[in-house]
A and B are shown apart, each in its own frame.
Chain A
Amino acid sequence: MPESLALLLSVAIFPGGVFALGLGLGLKGIDRRVAARLQRRVGPPLLQPFFDLIKLSRKQTTVPDTSCRPLFLALPPVGAASMLLAAALVPIPGIYAPDPMLGDMLVLFYLLVVPGMVLMLAGSASGSPFGAIGFSREMMLMLAYETPIVLVLVTAGIRAGGGDGAITLSLTEIMHHQQTHGAFLFDPVMWPALLAFAAFLPANLGTIPFDTPEAETEVLDGPLLEYSGAALGLFKAMSALKAVVVLNLGVCLFFPTAPANPSALLVHLVKLLPMAAGVTVLRVSMGRMRVDQAFRFFFKWPLALAAASVTAAILSR
């Protein structure tokens, strides 16, 4: 009983659930403020994403006549729930290591695909032509960025698996390996993989230059166009949680050095900030790529870099 209770707490309170949602919305607030400052505007209050979420929970949820009603309403909770679970799957260095019962890197990878799938289905279930365009673009982009990220995860697995050809699929083991042998951030073999991961970040978070599926000025938020009220709020919560999951994953894969006491949480937050700021700076300083350009980009540079890292990791073990 205590064990299942601990599992439940890790999904619902820390590091999933309440903590991850708060962190995600906080990062989103910082992102919006930094973006405004870079454009020399005052910007919204730091707590703006929280206000948005509270407001959305109080608005009417409309369902269009042309939509597939059950699917349309079922998708937002599925997306948010998948990310709650994923947040509990990523270790936080020095603070939290997930119970192996929850799942390993493969489960995490599948869960990371869920938000994209949910958005694709939401776009097609809404019955709006803009949603359909969002659907096809989301699919193209997912096909493009999933391949390099698989290779990045495999590289980390090989690197942390030891010399005898073993691959570890446990993020906790990858983390422990780096804490004893030095972070992958300072490992030349992992540098191409790090660059590939840096390209994956904005694509997975759906920010400029890779926000093609939800491009506001082209397809008016695409899959989210027909959503309103609490359902839209769940999608906002989903993307906030996803940001936390992906950034945590980055810290865990490349730089999990941390003191073994509660101050590690502070260290972790400090590590998240430059990554989030990097995404923001990229967002305000670039234009949006067309989906075919993004597709070609991912099958050129990140794939080549990730493949180079895998090869180097295999040769050097």
Chain B
Amino acid sequence: MSLIRTLSSRSPWLYRINAGSCNGCDVELATTACIPRYDVERLGCQYCGSPRHADIVLITGPLTARVKDKVLRLFAEIPEPKVTVAVGICPISGGIFRESYAVCGPIDHYLPVDVNVPGCPPRPQAILEGVAKAIEIWKSRL
């Protein structure tokens, strides 16, 4: 059984949710996939377009009031087992948008966050480390 779990854990598919981000972190996420140096596919990861295919959810942005309900609905659509990674300082504390009337964050008031990757934006290496940690957590839930 543990062999099947180990094999399964080598196929974590990533899904990005932009919860009102300024797009800075999203560019860094694209970097991890598109730039040969950071190639996230060697960990078996693959960015997928559908929440139904996702295993590891990468959330960027401070969770603005406008997207809150949509993000929560999207999160509920992701099949179990899943792991959540908050990318950038915004979903963790609100970052430069904290205390704004338009922001509902921090995101862990609404969703279970497993890994925080702080930074504005975080470096690709940091994101990759966050993903690697998320894979460990995900493996224990499989």
- A residues apposed to B, CB below 8 Å: 32, 36, 39-45, 48, 50-52, 54-56, 58-62, 216-217, 220-221, 224-229, 232
Q: Contact at B50–A221, with CB atoms within 8 Å?
A: yes
The residues of B that contact A216 with a CB separation of less than 8 Å are 49
Q: Answer whether A42 and B53 are a contact pair too, CB < 8 Å, given A51-B7, A58-B4, A62-B79.
A: no
Q: Answer whether A40 and B36 are a contact pair too, CB < 8 Å, given A61-B79, A220-B50.
A: yes
CA distance A225 to B26 in the complex (A): 22
Q: Contact at A227–B41, with CB atoms within 8 Å?
A: no
In order of increasing CB-CB distance, the 5 nearest A-B pairs are: A220-B49, A228-B52, A60-B79, A41-B39, A55-B11
Residue of B nearest to A229 (CB): B79
Residue of B nearest to A41 (CB): B39
Q: Answer whether A226 and B11 are a contact pair too, CB < 8 Å, given A42-B42, A44-B44.
A: no
Residue of B nearest to A224 (CB): B50
- B residues apposed to A, CB below 8 Å: 4, 7-12, 36, 39, 41-42, 44, 46, 48-50, 52-53, 55, 77, 79-81, 142
Of the candidates B4, B36, B55, the one whose C-beta lies within 8 Å of that of A54 is: B4
> 12 more A-B contacts (CB under 8 A) besides A51-B10, A221-B50, A225-B49?
A41-B39, A44-B46, A48-B10, A54-B4, A55-B8, A55-B11, A58-B4, A59-B79, A59-B81, A220-B49, A228-B52, A229-B79
| Most A-side CB within 10 Å, residue of B7, B50, B55 | B50
Q: Contact at B52–A44, with CB atoms within 8 Å?
A: no
Interchain Cβ contacts under 8 Å between A and B, 22 examples: A32-B41, A36-B41, A42-B39, A42-B41, A44-B42, A44-B46, A45-B10, A45-B42, A54-B7, A54-B8, A55-B11, A58-B8, A59-B79, A62-B79, A221-B49, A221-B50, A224-B50, A225-B49, A226-B50, A227-B52, A228-B52, A228-B79
CA distance A217 to B34 in the complex (A): 14
CA distance A52 to B53 in the complex (A): 11
The residues of B that contact A226 with a CB separation of less than 8 Å are 50, 52
Residue of B nearest to A40 (CB): B36
Q: Contact at A62–B77, with CB atoms within 8 Å?
A: yes
The residues of B that contact A227 with a CB separation of less than 8 Å are 52-53
The residues of B that contact A58 with a CB separation of less than 8 Å are 4, 8, 142
CA distance A227 to B36 in the complex (A): 30
The residues of B that contact A41 with a CB separation of less than 8 Å are 36, 39, 41-42
Q: Answer whether A51 and B11 are a contact pair too, CB < 8 Å, given A43-B42, A61-B79.
A: yes
A99 to chain B, nearest CB (A): 35
The residues of B that contact A51 with a CB separation of less than 8 Å are 7-8, 10-11, 44
Of the candidates B12, B48, B80, the one whose C-beta lies within 8 Å of that of A60 is: B80
CA distance A228 to B13 in the complex (A): 12
